[in-house]
Amino acid sequence: MSDQLNYNMEVIKVEKSRINDVDFNNLSFGKIFSDHMLICTYKNGAWNAPKIVPYQSLTLDPSTKIFHYGQAIFEGLKAYKDSNNDVFLFRPDENCKRLNISAKRMAIPELPEAYFMDGLKALLQVDKDWIPTQDGSSLYVRPFIFASGRGFHASPSDEYTFIIATAPSGPYFSGKVTVLIEEHYSRSANGGVGYAKAAGNYAGQFYPTQLAVEKGYNQVIWTDDNTHEYIEEAGAMNIFIRINDTLITSPTSDRILDGVTRKSIIDIAKSEGIPVDVRKITVSEVIEAANNGTLKEIFGAGTAAVVSPISGFGFKNKDYILPELENPYANKLKKRITDIQTNKAEDAFGWRVKV
């Protein structure tokens, strides 16, 4: 794959920006969209040159294959602006790499790295003013690919569309959440597409999560598909469990997404001297730790929320409340990672990328 674009990208700007209509002090997550988007199509066996155009609706034929066979993948990352008005991304190369891992699993042609990386940077330069500076806010970036070819035949599409759209957003979650450990439904299975960021993975989560919400919980903790004995993920996030002073997280697999925030938290925790154990952990071990007082914290980790502390969980019609700690790992790790992302602290890992 090419390391850089070998042409001048076409940029078609909006006639009038919508930015003055936006209240940047009261942003919800992912509901307001910036002026422009990047678009790139795959036709006749090759990806065509990307271009930047005004954010707009798409017109699709009813036979477009995404509607019928679900070939769709996406990524999520954020852009930040520091006090000097400089723009930064956090480990975008990992998102590009994972997009193509997902593409391969879903029989979608891999995207040239330069189309992702240079295209993203060009888009952010055009919509730089849309990056919020309020605490907890950022410009959420959504790259995605979907099958845009037509036909009812059950086969991979012959055409695809790649888009990067952005949304100035406030915090994903506010406060702590309660979760229900799932005993019946599964997020993914061995040999499946759980490790890919495929759209259908999330569609399949909505119904079990809805059932948990009806019981008074905010989210679901997913367990393995075979025995439901092992903790795997928390909602759409990777999960960390602190027993005594050790932070435990499940290893990635066919079923578990290789989260960028997850791997960053592991490295930051180790640099802080926090013991990290990447291993399978059973529901029974978590229950036992809750009963004997050694369970200190559970939190989710993902791009949107960064770190989401869990205040309690339910299992087999019983609720377990986690202790209120003075200096939880969750707060310390979230601050370390967000300070790197927003250029408020030294980046000893080389993760921060200036646009």
Other Cβ atoms closer than 10 A to 43: 13
Distances (CA, A) of 326 to 109, 159, 296: 49, 54, 11
Query: What helix, strand, coil percent values describe the chain, rounded to 5?
Result: 25, 30, 45
Quote the CA–CA distance of 311 and 328 in Å, as a whole number.
12
Quote the CA–CA distance of 236 and 304 in Å, as a whole number.
10
Alpha helices in 109-254, H assignment, sequence order: 113-126, 199-214
Q: Which two tokens stand for residue 107?
A: 């029989």
Q: Are 249 and 330 in contact (CB under 8 A)?
A: no
Q: Is 250 helix (H, G, I), strand (E, B) or coil?
A: coil
Residue bearing tokens 């602006």: 81
95 pLDDT exceeds 50?
A: yes
Which pLDDT band, with edges at 50, 70 and 90, does 174 fall under? low
1 pLDDT exceeds 90?
A: no
Q: Is 59 helix (H, G, I), strand (E, B) or coil?
A: coil
Distances (CA, A) of 172 to 73, 121, 177, 307: 21, 24, 12, 10
Tens digits of residue pLDDT in 125-164 = 999 999 999 988 999 999 999 999 999 999 999 999 999 9
Q: How far is CA 3 from the centre of its chain?
A: 25
317 pLDDT exceeds 50?
A: yes
Q: What pairs with residue 40 in β-bridges?
A: 162
Q: Are 333 and 268 in contact (CB under 8 A)?
A: yes
Domains of the chain: 10-169 (3.30.470.10), 177-341 (3.20.10.10)
Quote the CA–CA distance of 215 and 57 in Å, as a whole number.
37
Tens digits of residue pLDDT in 335-345 = 999 999 999 99
Tens digits of residue pLDDT in 49-90 = 999 999 999 999 999 999 999 999 999 999 999 999 999 999
pTM greater than 0.85 (yes/no)? yes
3 pLDDT exceeds 50?
A: no
Which pLDDT band, with edges at 50, 70 and 90, does 319 fall under? very high
Q: Are 1 and 113 in contact (CB under 8 A)?
A: yes
CA atoms within 13 A on the CB side of 255: 19
Tens digits of residue pLDDT in 246-258 = 999 999 999 999 9
Strands (E), 148-211: 160-169, 177-181
190 pLDDT exceeds 70?
A: yes
